[in-house]
């Protein structure tokens, strides 16, 4: 195992993030604060409680998950796409490092960054609402599992994309809508039955539901099922990454 290689990639990626740390932290904090102002204050005054939780507190897990998904995908996809774009990927390909090790370095760094952003948002939420976490260990489990899973997804995206447009199209046109429609700001139980069924095909529902259960012990779907779906999604991503590296898809000519 080339741990020095893994560490080199990990620290390189973290250093890249560190160069724009202020922007990386401040941007999500500002956007989260705006969500609290718009959704929490404006809409929250009309929807007082959902399942016994104040609306402002209810949206906290969804907001963290929303940022976690977008940050994980953008960090990981950019991390691998940019070396491909600039040509510096030659160094990774010619180094005595396995694809699994390279993936650990890139995905590990992307997941770390998004977990940090998630925790910063969690801290920011305390400025606006009173938040209690009933199962902190489950909260951390979902936080880390989701960060790793979607960093892996972003990694796949960064390898698949052959231009900047493709790199941004999936997060913009697929992930963000799925996150908004996955119950970030509402319980899917509030939807008509037909749309509740449709929502169950949205993988983000399970992430948010499980994460919210860790906070308030109420969920749209069973927490074990949420965890199972998240693990299945992670295993799917791992399988795709394994195939990419085995075939050299978009990496080696």
Partner 1 sequence: MTQNSSVIEVSGLHKTYAPGFDALKGVSLEINQGEIFALLGPNGAGKTTLINIICGIVDKTSGAIRINGHDNVLDFRKARSQIGLVPQELSTEIFESVEATVSFSRGLFGKPPNPDHIEKVLKTLALWDKRKDIIMTLSGGMKKRVAIAKALAHEPKILFLDEPTAGVDVGLRQAMWEFVGQLREEGVTIILTTHYIEEAEQIADRIGVINHGEIILVEDKHKLMRELGKKQLIIELDIELTHIPDDLRRYNLVFGASGSELIYNYDTQASQTGITSLLGELGTAGIRFHDVKTKQSSLEDIFVGLVK
Nearest residue (CB) to partner 1, 78 versus 206? 78
Q: Can you name the residues that pair with 49 across neighbouring β-strands?
A: 54
User: Rule CB under 8 A: is residue 2 a binding residue for partner 1?
Assistant: yes
User: Rule CB under 8 A: is residue 252 a binding residue for partner 1?
Assistant: yes
User: Rule CB under 8 A: is residue 80 a binding residue for partner 1?
Assistant: no
CB of 5 to partner 1, least distance (A): 5
Nearest residue (CB) to partner 1, 234 versus 251? 251
| Cα distance between residue 197 and residue 191, in whole Å | 9
Using CB under 8 A, which residues numbered 94 to 153 contact partner 1? 94-98
CB of 239 to partner 1, least distance (A): 21
Whole-Å CA distances, 207 to 17, 180, 235: 26, 12, 15
| Cα distance between residue 202 and residue 199, in whole Å | 5
CB of 149 to partner 1, least distance (A): 26
Decide: helix, strand or coil at residue 187. coil
| Cα distance between residue 107 and residue 102, in whole Å | 8
Nearest to 60 by CA among 83, 84, 32, 81: 32
The residues of the shown chain that bind partner 1, judged by CB under 8 A, are 2, 4-5, 7-9, 11-12, 15-16, 19, 82, 86-88, 90-98, 248, 252-253
């Amino acid at each position: 195992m080339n741990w020095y290689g893994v560490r080199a990639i990990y620290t390189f990626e973290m250093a890249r993030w560190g160069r724009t740390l202020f922007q990386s932290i401040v941007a999500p904090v500002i956007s989260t604060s705006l969500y609290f102002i718009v959704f929490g204050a404006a809409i929250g005054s009309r929807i007082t409680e959902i399942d016994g939780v104040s609306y402002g507190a209810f949206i906290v897990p969804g907001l963290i998950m929303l940022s976690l998904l977008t940050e994980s995908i953008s960090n990981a996809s950019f991390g691998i796409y940019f070396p491909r774009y600039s040509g510096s990927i030659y160094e990774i390909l010619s180094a005595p490092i396995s694809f699994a090790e390279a993936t650990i370095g890139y995905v590990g760094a992307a997941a770390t960054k998004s977990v940090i952003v998630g925790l910063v948002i969690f801290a920011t939420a305390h400025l606006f609402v009173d938040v209690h976490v009933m199962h902190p260990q489950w909260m951390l489990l979902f936080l880390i599992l989701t960060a790793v899973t979607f960093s892996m997804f972003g990694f796949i995206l960064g390898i698949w994309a052959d231009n900047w447009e493709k790199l941004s199209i999936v997060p913009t046109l697929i992930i963000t809508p799925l996150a908004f429609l996955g119950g970030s700001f509402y319980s899917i139980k509030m939807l008509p039955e037909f749309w509740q069924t449709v929502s169950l095909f949205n993988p983000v529902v399970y992430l948010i539901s499980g994460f919210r259960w860790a906070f308030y012990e109420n969920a749209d779907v069973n927490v074990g099922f949420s965890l199972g779906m998240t693990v299945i999604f992670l295993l799917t991503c791992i399988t795709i990454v394994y195939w990419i590296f085995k075939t050299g898809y978009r990496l080696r000519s």
